[in-house]
Amino acid sequence: MSTRTVLHEADIARALTRISHEILESNRGPAELVVLGIPSRGAPLAARIGAILGDISGTAVPVGALDVTMYRDDLRRHPTRTPRPTQIPDGGVDGKVVVLVDDVLFSGRSIRAALDALQDIGRPAAVRLATLIDRGHRELPIRPDFVGKNLPSAREERVNVRLREIDGADEVTIGS
């Protein structure tokens, strides 16, 4: 079983800074932005992006978390998922540009679930997707707007994102 590190702490920090700049550029500033992370690792990434957006623009950007557990289409195969709290910032999402943040984009099913969950919360003006890792192998027609790293991988390989908020360290590894 071989595992290699593809992103270290500094690489993750650079990727999140680049993503944040791209978000501000595409939105023409921080106005009407809301950043929502998909638990578990998308939530701390969203918090980091929100902080970077605030540092760059000088304006606080609302950040929250959007649990998609009950919207997933694979609950029969993985019934042991524990729902996490959904935290929508004050002001909600209606008429806002919502940036969904996830750690790894693979089949696209988590994002489809997030879109369904978001629909139950409100009606954003637009939804964008930011992901730290895009590994391909999409099963649904979903494409990220902002990507930290494209990581071509075999379907059977495992991409692991470790974040200091959850795991005590920042790194992305890939292995079989």
Summarised one tens digit per residue, pLDDT across range 28-59 is 999 999 999 999 999 999 999 999 999 999 99
Tokens 């004050």 correspond to: 90
The residues with which 98 forms a beta bridge, in sequence order, are: 34, 127
Question: pTM of the predicted model, to two decimals?
Answer: 0.94
| Alpha-carbon gap, residue 167 to 14, rounded angstroms | 19
Top-level CATH class of 3-69+93-175?
alpha beta
Convert the pLDDT of each residue in 72-114 to its tens digit.
877 666 656 678 889 999 999 999 999 999 999 999 999 999 9
Backbone angles phi, psi at 33, to 5 degrees: -85, 145
Map out the domains of the chain as residue ranges: 3-69+93-175
Paired strand residues for 105: 134
pLDDT number for residue 72: 81
